[in-house]
Structure 1
Amino acid sequence: MKLDVNALRYLSRDESRTLQAVEIGQKNHDIVPVPLVDSIAGLKHGGVVRCLKALLRQKLVHHDNTRYDGYRLTPLGYDFLALRALVARGAITAVGRQIGVGKESDVFEVLNAEGEVLAMKLHRLGRTSFRAVKKKRDYLQHRNSFSWLWLSRLAAAKEFAFMEALGVAGFPVPHAIEHNRHAVLMSLVDAVPLVQVRLADPGAVYLQLMDMIADLAARGLVHCDFNEFNILVDEQGAVTLIDFPQMVSTSHANAEELFERDVDCIVRFFTKKLGYVPEQDTSLPYMRPDFKAATASASEKLDVQLSASGFKKEHLSALDSYVSALQGMVAPRDGSSSGEEEESDSDSEPEGCDSSDEAGSSGGEGDESEKGEVP
């Protein structure tokens, strides 16, 4: 579904409250009954029915009367909720063209208040080409039921946490700015995907990539999707790594296999697509990194700090200590937990709305689990 933000400027206050009420109702309902939407939104004179019809015309909600009369959010409606929260916080002021499409995300250019062009990634788990997420990712953990919107929210929170931590650790990644629901706001990198580049010095770029794979393993992480589509290269040949929700710990049962798969993917691309055979380049200090040698390094383990998939149970105490220390250092930005509250008085918002707009500026999956299974 195409993202048309023009409708957002004409969305009335009551319609926004109703849309948010549907989101809150989906904590415990796949299809939210109309009386529950009415109760949460708290509009006077039966205004919820009128607002639901308006939202339905704009394809922000889906109507289902198979078992009872109810509504649920559409991906476009979820987009609007995320955009409204980011605009209310002053993080963005305009949405531009779409610059990227993936099997599980869309990327758009956006502007902030200073006129700086940023990138906004909207996670789209549940597309036809990505239906095996339950087997490939650990978002569900012990749960049997799920919502694609909720899984997209978890993916966004996980990616933001990894991007922020990797940036602090000195890895060449986009600067993580903000996230809300399934949207991640980051700096726009002036580079193009490796698959679209003709390299003047492929040996230098190849060595950068091998070093990056080894450095990630030394920090306790395996990217798991290290390929020519997730690597950006600028005019100077410097590389930037993107796309992090699938990263796992080096303690994962399949970590070494996934590590070797990342390496093989780069070797195969350089050999078959670029005609550069690393084994024939005698100037390289080494052809490919070794998993055991990389993980034997004494570097700080980011997998423990971020609770990466596959980290061992004995790491839990260290993780708890890290989270406690982080909570002691990080203070609320402005004393308010919700961008929506900045836009209007607290007594005019539907009950429970503040929790659905929290950005969780440094949290991973653990932060989302405290809010319940919200789409």
Structure 2
Amino acid sequence: MKLDTSHMRYLTSDDFKVLQALELGTRNHELVPTTLIHTLGGLRSVTGTNRSIGDLAKLKLVSRLRNAKYDGFRLTYSGYDYLALKSMLNRETLYSVGTTIGVGKESDIYSVSDPEGVAKVLKIHRLGRTSFKTVKNNRDYLKNKHTSNWMYLSRLAAEKEFEFMTILYQNDFTVPQPFDYSRHCVMMEWIKGMPMKHLRKHKNHQRLYSDLMNFIVKLANHGLIHCDFNEFNIIIRDDESVKDHEFDFVVIDFPQCVSIEHVDAKQYFDRDVEGIRSFFEKKFRYKPTQDPTMLDTEGYGDGYKYAYPDFERDIQRVKSLDVEVKASGYAKKRTGVREDKDLEQAVMSMRLNTGEDEDEGELDDEEDDDEDEEDDDEDSNEYDLEDEDEGDEEEEENLHQENEKIIEALQSGVKNLKMDKLGNYIIDDEDET
């Protein structure tokens, strides 16, 4: 999914009203009826709404499904990108978007600048790129709402990551400073350096090893486990910028973090530790062993008593950041929020699929983009529906009838139209007379 902002300057306020209407309608519809778009958008005339929809469809910011049983549109990821960027522009935290920095399994990374010209990083969450392949079969609520729900889950992931980064930065962890977030986008500090994956040599790799192990322990002592702590998510600062900082590394990527109370906490902790041990053994042929003659337990590796951290031996809670950010696994019996459950299901595959070859992931992404572009070239305003059985058709017909009721309720202003906690429209049958 490529980010193209060249058309943003030509969009009118009505165009953004239509996009916002589609965003709102998508919460309860995979295909938002045109009448509902007009009602939610608040444009003066239906003609103006239709004209705006047509313009947005040409730019592939909205799309229509082929063989749909009623006239309607859905918001594309490009349209969702525009809404997020527009929100940051309005808050004056974003001024321009630059080039692509990297493409990950569940996100795209771009260089951006603020109104003062300061370089920053924009991370765009795109859940569903890989996790959709492994999770969709056991998530019935995504059955007829693939696109809209993955946008919704991407927004939850961005919100959660911004929350994690904010509280970690405030507690003096070596993470990028977060500046802003909107929908599925998070803006953060630009770190001058390179991913540890590309590290060829280091002036003191023994100290780096110990510092990284201490980070894992410190994070756990504050109630959190990273769950994807490896060379892909650690940035080594360059020689110039490291002079102003205590440590020469910065840790990124937090939406999959869990609490130390999580049922699999020890497993995730041990995997994070093993990820660092494997990297240093492979890259520097550095494999320290435990030395009982040493008394120093303030670090790990050569010169210290322990070669690497142990969950049961080294973790002593000093703070409850996991409770503050409601990390997965904390006080599980007392939490039943649907949003938390949805996000937990989505990021589960991120925890299970860590350590995969990043280049292979980028290749898969490019192939997916090529497939999308081929579909767009075939028909810029239409997309094929997935194969459905007879049960799906019956369910879709029921959904269509429900949509018609909601549209009629919006137009007539009936009192029995309500919203649930997720913003979905619901017709309360008990209030009907």
Please give the TM-score of this superposition, normalised by the length of structure 2.
0.69
How do 1:184-203 and structure 2 match up within 5 A?
Answer: 184-197=186-199, 198-203=201-206
How many matched pairs?
318
d(CA) in 2 for partners of 1:151, 1:278: 41
CA shift, 1:77, in A, is: 0.6
d(CA) in 2 for partners of 1:372, 1:148: 16
- Does 1:262 pair with 2:305? no
Does structure 1 retain, via aligned residues, the 8 Å contact 2:27–2:422? no
Structure 1 segments unaligned to the other structure (5+ residues):
317-368
Match of 1:113 among 92, 108, 115: 115
d(CA) in 2 for partners of 1:133, 1:294: 34
CA shift, 1:128, in A, is: 3.8
Question: Aligned in 2, Cα 1:143/1:288: closer, same or farther, shift over 3 Å?
Answer: farther
Partner of 1:5 in structure 2? Answer: 5
Does structure 1 retain, via aligned residues, the 8 Å contact 2:136–2:142? no
How do 1:1-375 and structure 2 match up within 5 A?
Answer: 1-45=1-45, 46-65=47-66, 66-128=68-130, 131-132=133-134, 147-197=149-199, 198-235=201-238, 236=242, 238-279=248-289, 282-295=302-315, 297-313=316-332, 370-372=421-423
CA shift, 1:31, in A, is: 0.6
CA shift, 1:133, in A, is: 5.2
CA displacement, residues 274-318 of structure 1 (integer Å, 9 cap, x when unaligned)? 3222239632442111112333x24111111111101124777xx
d(CA) in 2 for partners of 1:219, 1:3: 37
Letter in 2 for 1:248: V
CA shift, 1:257, in A, is: 0.7
Does structure 1 retain, via aligned residues, the 8 Å contact 2:164–2:254? yes
CA displacement, residues 182-224 of structure 1 (integer Å, 9 cap, x when unaligned)? 0001111112110111222111110011000111111111100
Does structure 2 retain, via aligned residues, the 8 Å contact 1:63–1:71? yes
Question: Aligned in 2, Cα 1:373/1:149: closer, same or farther, shift over 3 Å?
Answer: farther
Question: Aligned in 2, Cα 1:144/1:251: closer, same or farther, shift over 3 Å?
Answer: farther
Please give the TM-score of this superposition, normalised by the length of structure 1.
0.79
CA shift, 1:17, in A, is: 1.0
CA displacement, residues 309-337 of structure 1 (integer Å, 9 cap, x when unaligned)? 01124777xxxxxxxxxxxxxxxxxxxxx
d(CA) in 2 for partners of 1:120, 1:181: 12
Does structure 1 retain, via aligned residues, the 8 Å contact 2:261–2:330? yes
Letter in 2 for 1:14: D
CA shift, 1:143, in A, is: 6.1
Question: Aligned in 2, Cα 1:134/1:174: closer, same or farther, shift over 3 Å?
Answer: farther
Does structure 2 retain, via aligned residues, the 8 Å contact 1:150–1:373? no
Structure 2 segments unaligned to the other structure (5+ residues):
291-300, 336-419, 426-433
Does structure 2 retain, via aligned residues, the 8 Å contact 1:94–1:110? yes
Higher mean alpha-carbon deviation, 201-210 vs 38-47, is at 38-47
CA-based RMSD of the aligned residues comes to 2.4
Higher radius of gyration, 1 or 2: 2
Question: Aligned in 2, Cα 1:135/1:284: closer, same or farther, shift over 3 Å?
Answer: farther
CA shift, 1:2, in A, is: 1.5
d(CA) in 1 for partners of 2:178, 2:135: 24
Letter in 2 for 1:372: G
Identity %: 42
Does structure 1 retain, via aligned residues, the 8 Å contact 2:222–2:319? yes
CA displacement, residues 120-154 of structure 1 (integer Å, 9 cap, x when unaligned)? 10001111465335799xxx8x9666610000000
CA shift, 1:56, in A, is: 0.8
- Larger helix fraction of residues: 2
